[in-house]
Amino acid sequence: MNYRLTLFQFKIKLKKIIFTFILLFSNLFAEEKIAIATKIIGNAMYVRGDQSESIIKKGQIFETGDIITTKKGGFVALLFIDDKTALKIKEKSKLTITGKRSARSIAKEIKLEGGVIRAIVNKQKQSGFIIRTSVSVASVKGTDFWVISNKLNDSLIGLEGKVEFSNIISGESLEIISGKTGISSSSGDLQSFKTDPKNIPDDPSDNAKGEQKLEIQFEDASGNKKTLVIKYK
């Protein structure tokens, strides 16, 4: 028996197996999910790629590039699956949710076309959390804040932590902390002042008490039924 040839053939087969595994892993990684809906009120829709608009239901899993729209009276709360960072989307809002995965975290970016959203951002390890509008950019590592956006200006209301708030037209930036509100306008103006509590939007999901639990049923590669349990507050 030619052991050198046998060893050579084994190495070739091993390389093919590794290459095939890498390709399969890359495809799964590219399609990996980034967030899940934990609460729905009223009418909310999402669009994925070239697909038609679909109704968002509790337990809906979002992929990078999904476009979310809330109608009048609609509300969506979602969690990012890497660190349970929360995003609350109020009525008449439209945004695109994107996420770039690294080994341990997701670099999150929300492109807000208009509306009202709240971000409760857990401390980010390597990646960050960005909210981007046509006028402003809010960049954080860990905090709690509201963003109210329309065609003329953006308002950022700090609840906890710090947010770097920038106007992309003038290039100016401010640090918004708890109790402060920043206003960024389409003319390039950027200012901050003490928050009036009356201007803080109502969060429909704030009435939940204690730890919440969401169960999702799915089938694994072998066709066995499994249950994914997500606990959150």
Same domain, 16 and 77: no
pLDDT at position 105: 78
Question: Is residue 191 included in any domain, yes or no?
Answer: yes
Of 12-21, 125-134, 162-171, give the lowest mean pLDDT range. 12-21
- The candidate with the shortest Cα–Cα distance to 138, out of 192, 92, 102, is 192
Band the pLDDT of 218: cuts 50, 70, 90.
low
Band the pLDDT of 224: cuts 50, 70, 90.
low
Same domain, 77 and 26: no
Measure the CA–CA gap between 142 and 78, rounded to whole angstroms: 17
Question: Is residue 142 included in any domain, yes or no?
Answer: yes
Q: What is the mean pLDDT of the chain?
A: 82
Same domain, 97 and 60: yes
Question: Is residue 107 included in any domain, yes or no?
Answer: yes
Question: Is residue 230 included in any domain, yes or no?
Answer: no
pLDDT at position 5: 44
Question: Is residue 45 included in any domain, yes or no?
Answer: yes
Same domain, 17 and 102: no
Question: Is residue 219 included in any domain, yes or no?
Answer: no
Question: Is residue 232 included in any domain, yes or no?
Answer: no
User: Who has greater pLDDT, 17 or 211?
Assistant: 211
Same domain, 16 and 60: no
Measure the CA–CA gap between 58 and 185, rounded to whole angstroms: 35
Tokens of 133: 């509008």
For 184-189, what is the mean pLDDT?
A: 96
Band the pLDDT of 124: cuts 50, 70, 90.
low
Q: Count of CB atoms within 10 A of residue 161's CB?
A: 17
Query: Percentage of the chain with pLDDT > 90?
Result: 62
Can you tell me whether residue 81 is helix, strand or coil?
A: coil
Same domain, 72 and 176: yes
Same domain, 135 and 23: no
Same domain, 26 and 71: no
Question: Is residue 224 included in any domain, yes or no?
Answer: no
Same domain, 23 and 65: no
Q: Is the pLDDT of residue 97 over 70?
A: yes
Same domain, 59 and 166: yes
pLDDT digit string (tens) for 17-72?
444 434 433 433 445 789 999 999 999 999 999 999 999 999 999 999 999 999 99
Of 64-68, 118-122, 190-194, 222-226, give the lowest mean pLDDT range. 222-226
pTM of the model: 0.77
Contact predicate 91/71, CB 8 Å:
yes
Domain that holds residue 9: 1-31
pLDDT at position 75: 98
Of 76-80, 135-139, 204-208, give the lowest mean pLDDT range. 204-208
Query: Percentage of the chain with pLDDT > 70?
Result: 73
Measure the CA–CA gap between 229 and 215, rounded to whole angstroms: 5
Same domain, 14 and 93: no
Same domain, 24 and 78: no
Number of domains composing the chain: 2
